[in-house]
Amino acid sequence: MVFVFVNQKGGVGKTTSAVNLGACLAGAGKSVLLVDFDSQANLSSAVGLNKAGIKPGVYELISGQAELAVVIRKTVVQNLWVIPSSIDLSGAAVELVEHEKRDLFLKNALAPVKDRYDYVMIDCPPSLGVLTLNGLAAADSVLIPMQCEYFAMEGLSLLLQTIRRIQKNLNPKLQIGGIFFTMYDQRTRLAQDVVREVSAYFREKVFETIIPRNVRISEAPSHGLPISHYDPASSGSRAYQSLAEEVIARG
């Protein structure tokens, strides 16, 4: 199963969720390959890869300069692998646009290995540009992290339009795996209202698990560890564990 984490809004928890959900699935005995498809390379550093030393990575892979066997790295977590990224990927966005099959580079690059893992999880940048379209073309299922803010629904409808366009043109099998809330603060009325509104509209597409705002989650990346290893007893760790159980149960 190939999941892609998409939301054109920045800072909503795409990378955090890819790392922590991936680590929890790995902890449940699943084999997981994380793909950092953002030139910010936040995912790579969150699993302990130093930003300076992560070449070759996903850019070299999609541009044909490096083989899969070289770019797939082990992490400190058992069953969890990663294809890292670097700032070089920002140039790829420009190079790819020239190309007729520009949206299929990632799909083609991952094709030989995707069935070797229980889950491949692609982290995308905060835009609906060519990199995110590559992520959507390569995936079986989209996971949408959302923050509970004003205009959440507006952002979501633009994203859903894009997903429909991809389903028509590039990837008819693409499913919406689900929407989940991140950085939830139960003390605010707004957060409760957004959860209620989005859940009423998207119903079973919304995961029951809500990821709370938890400072331990924001500390973990600077230690190069997923929350499950940095602070397993934290509320954030328990929430990602519960999200992983839902993902496994949904099949």
- Binding flags for ligand ATP, 169-198, as an x/- string (CB under 6 A): -------------xx---------------
Q: Is residue 16 within the footprint of ligand ATP (CB under 6 A)?
A: yes
Helix (H, G, I), strand (E, B) or coil at 93: helix
Output the smallest distance, CB 124 to ligand ATP, in A: 8
Q: Is 227 in the site for ligand ATP (CB under 6 A)?
A: no
Q: What are phi and psi of 249, to 5 degrees?
A: -65, -30
String marking each residue 1-40 x if it binds Mg ion according to CB under 5 A: -------------xx-------------------------
Binder of ligand ATP out of 33, 37, 42, 92 (CB under 6 A): 42
211 lines the binding site for ligand ATP (CB under 6 A): yes
Which residue(s) pair with 80 in the sheet? 32
Q: Does 10 bind ligand ATP (CB under 6 A)?
A: yes
Does the footprint of ligand ATP cover residue 57 (CB under 6 A)? no
Q: Assess 2 for contact with ligand ATP (CB under 6 A).
A: no
The pairing of strands 175-184 and 206-212 is: parallel
Given the rule CB under 6 A, which residues bind ligand ATP?
10-16, 38, 40, 42, 125-126, 182-183, 211, 213-214, 217-218, 221, 236
Binding site for Mg ion (CB under 5 A): 14-15, 42
